[in-house]
Amino acid sequence: MNKAYLGVDIGSISTKGVIIDDDNNIIASEYLWTEGDPIRAVKKLLKSLNEKLNKSYKVVSVGTTGSARKLIGTLLNASVVKNEITAHGIGTINMHPDVKTILEIGGQDSKIILIDNKIITDYAMNTLCAAGTGSFLSSQAKRLNLEVEDFGKIALTSTNPSKIAARCTVFAESDLVHKAQMGHKKEDIVAGLCKAVVNNYLNNVGKGKKIQPPIVFQGGVSKNIGVVKAFEEELGEEIIVDDFGHLMGAYGIAILAKNSKKISDFSFNISDINFKTKGIECNKCPNNCEIVKVYKEDVLIDSWGNRCENGIK
């Protein structure tokens, strides 16, 4: 039986899974929507990955990353639980050894990672505002009665992009409506939105950062060729987008799980197991900690958030 290693990246919008072999080759992968329920999403993810995995492989170690990494790490008995910066950095360095800058724009947040000689030297994240993220583009697509998947090719047909103020979602939407009412072409507005996303990113997440090539662009928004073109125009550099950019966090954490040499007590068959979480506020001391407890078939298996022993009693 060949060894395999599972990486799961659980975000607020999407859940990604990657299984690799001993040579870091991706042998199975899946991408689906979280839909506000990370436990249900991971159950669906595992079912799909199990169907895709060659039965000559056995998953021996698991890693989790993303906003729900601790919760899902508990469910899957993960060997490694790491933040997205580390996971994205490791995954990208393995695929692009010379990378110096990683641009990442996801559904509700964005990040930049700077790398020197395969070492992460600096990073920044924007998690406070959805302006300039995938959810921002999706909402504007609905307003324009367009499919967000078509944004890129529509943007490329524009010769005079509209100037859209994207420092805030509310401002952007009012500006978009104003431009449409003034008679701006739809393709110019779409191209303007793509440029606005890039300017928002560079003026916030990338502010003060030395962006050097090779530059790798990741996250769901990297599939938008209009945004890719806007980045290339603003930075004057080639932007690398590969087929696995949306899976890079899961890929990186799978590599970390493999390198950890720790064995996970893992099974794909969790679809029939009842997991539930319970949030409580502990009032046993002045800390008033907000504690999350995880139950498996009504048996407490983990909890976190407490700053003293009172919360786990």
Give me the pLDDT at residue 169, please.
66
Q: Could you give the CA distance from residue 146 to residue 191 in angstroms, rounded to a whole number?
A: 13
Answer for the pair 21, 57: CB distance below 8 angstroms, yes or no: yes
Res. 257 pLDDT band, cuts 50 70 90:
very high
The amino acid occupying position 74 is T
Long-range interactions of 28-33: CB distance < 8 A, separation 24+: 28/52, 28/53, 28/54, 29/244, 29/247, 29/250, 31/246, 31/247
> In the numeric block, which tokens belong to residue 268?
């794909």
The amino acid occupying position 23 is D
The domains found in the chain, sorted by start residue, are 2-90+249-260 (3.30.420.40), 97-241 (3.30.420.40), 275-312 (no CATH)
- Which residue did the predictor score with more confidence, 44 or 173? 44
Answer for the pair 238, 215: CB distance below 8 angstroms, yes or no: yes
- Which residue did the predictor score with more confidence, 131 or 306? 306
Res. 168 pLDDT band, cuts 50 70 90:
low
Asked if the model's pLDDT at residue 148 lies above 60, the reply is yes
79, 111, 77: which is closest to 92 by C-alpha? 111
Q: Are strands 101-105 and 26-33 parallel, antiparallel or unpaired?
A: unpaired
Q: Could you give the CA distance from residue 29 to residue 23 in angstroms, rounded to a whole number?
A: 16
| pTM reported for the whole predicted model | 0.83
Res. 132 pLDDT band, cuts 50 70 90:
low
Q: Within 13 Å and on the Cβ side, how many CA atoms surround 140?
A: 36
Those residues with Cβ within 8 angstroms of residue 55's Cβ, 6 or more apart along the chain or in another chain: none
